[in-house]
Structure 1
Amino acid sequence: MSEVDDAIASARSSWARISEDRSVPRADSRARRRTTQAIGKRLTRIAVADGAILVAALVIGMITPLGIMGALLAMMLLVAATVFFAIWPTETAPTPERLAAVDIKALPAQTERWLDAQRPALPAPAVTLVDRIGLRLETLSPQLAAVDNDGEAAQEVRKLIGEQLPAFVKDYERVPPSLRKTARNGRSPDAELVAGLSLIEQEIADMTTRLAQADLDTLSTRGRFLELKYKDDGAD
């Protein structure tokens, strides 16, 4: 094995260790980012709605005096709009049926949104795996930009994260909560869920590697070329 191969292998190993060590902090960062984005969307909707009410009240007031009742009505509308948009969900999670049909390029993000919506029904170990799967999906997403929506690679990705993953989680959620910790055939539903999600996470990682194989090969080839050309020249 050449020095370039050693360097590439070492870099991959180091990156894998770093990714494992930082998976939880990165998941926490993603959760904070989602919360911040949701708050920002709520505030934006409130500002737009309240602004529209104030502009409408101003225009009406220029045509005819609002009076006390008109002013009270405007204030009530402002309060109602603020409360309504403060509690109204910023976005709804896609359904499993929609995931099965969504464009492959948008599938990782849509699947991540769907998984986030399932968190309340999952045990703590599974939630940790959901965070890790979310990180895997973030890595996978840009790779699918160049993938044919009807190609073999796209079908493989869609089958796993658009069909099997949602179906697996839904199977778990249909189990009565009182039975989820009860062992059956040597393993409880909670344990089955964690084991299955772990396999799915690893398969997404493997898909990412397969999709990146051409780029990895190109990098390796170019590295060998540089090594042969410039290392030998330097020796001269």
Structure 2
Amino acid sequence: MTEVDQQIERARATMARISEDYRGQMGAQYRAHGKRLKRKATSVGARLAFIFAVNAIILIAAGVAGMVIPLGLFGGLAVLLLMAAVTIAIAIAPAARAPSEKALREVDIKSLPAKTERWLEAQRPALPAPARGMVDRIGTRLETLSPQLGRLEGREEEAYEVRRLIGEQLPAFVNDYARVPEPLRRVERNGRTPDAELVAGLQLIEQEIADMTARLAQNDLDSLSTRGRFLEMKYRDETGDR
């Protein structure tokens, strides 16, 4: 292979890695956007259900009261106004607040990834565009990590490391950035701007969450591999064909 061919191969490999990273980033952003839409739809549906339930209770109470004391025109109007007021109050009520940084340090380990993801989502609008992409990728990593945490009983050291990373260090790091005055976030300091520092730190955290997930799944991976070899030895015939 000539030097030109080698350069072409290296260029192709580089382009393939860039393309793979881009697809991964776009996939994470697409999934994160889908989750945001789903949460919004769920919130709207819950509000509508609550409005319907409260108005139904008002109508039932009015009907029972009407059997004892006739409500008349003004009574019926009062009921309608009450229903309208309740509907408006529920519709404009603020959404549930994201968990606080203190709550993340105290929440049950099994609920920690979902709570951290909600906390990160609340910080997302204040972050620069590259960091928002990293937040989406971290959200995907947390979603993958979550099922693994249900099997951490008796593995206190690993549970401590998970809690320390996503319940303490991640929020503290993002909050450190948030305290930097906005005009200074794009000013280079020690060779890097705070915006770039934020993205680099989030990349490290994302990779560490991925590594944690792999370590926690190691027993399952070993079990799968062992069972696969057992099945090959037990059921494959002498010629190696099925």
TM class by smaller structure? 0.7 to 0.9
Contact 1:23 1:132 in 2 (8 A): yes
**Structure 2 counterpart of 1:140, from 125, 145, 150:** 145
Unaligned runs of 5+ in 2: 1-20
Q: Which piece of structure 1 moves more, 110-119 or 82-91?
A: 82-91
Distance 1:149 1:214 in 2: 14
Identity %: 58
- Quote the RMSD (CA, aligned, Å): 2.3
Does the alignment pair 1:207 with 2:209?
A: no
Match of 2:27? 22
Distance 1:70 1:150 in 2: 64
Shift of 1:17: 9.8
Does the alignment pair 1:103 with 2:108?
A: yes
Q: Which piece of structure 1 moves more, 217-226 or 166-175?
A: 217-226
Distance 2:182 2:73 in 1: 55
Shift of 1:199: 1.0
Structure 1 residues 231 and 77 mapped into 2: Cα distance closer, same or farther (>3 Å)? same
Does the alignment pair 1:154 with 2:180?
A: no
Of structures 1 and 2, the one scoring higher in RCO (CA 8 A, sep 6+) is 1
One-letter amino acid of the counterpart of residue 177, structure 1: E
Contact 2:114 2:142 in 1 (8 A): yes
Contact 2:25 2:137 in 1 (8 A): no
Match of 2:176? 171
Match of 2:4? none
Contact 1:41 1:90 in 2 (8 A): no
Match of 1:85? 90
Shift of 1:72: 2.3
Shift of 1:73: 2.0
Contact 1:115 1:130 in 2 (8 A): yes
Q: Which piece of structure 1 moves more, 50-59 or 162-171?
A: 50-59
Distance 2:25 2:128 in 1: 21
Structure 1 residues 206 and 150 mapped into 2: Cα distance closer, same or farther (>3 Å)? closer
Unaligned runs of 5+ in 1: 1-15
Does the alignment pair 1:198 with 2:198?
A: no
TM superposition score normalised by structure 1: 0.86
Structure 1 residues 127 and 20 mapped into 2: Cα distance closer, same or farther (>3 Å)? closer
Does the alignment pair 1:217 with 2:231?
A: no
Shift of 1:149: 7.7
Shift of 1:196: 1.0
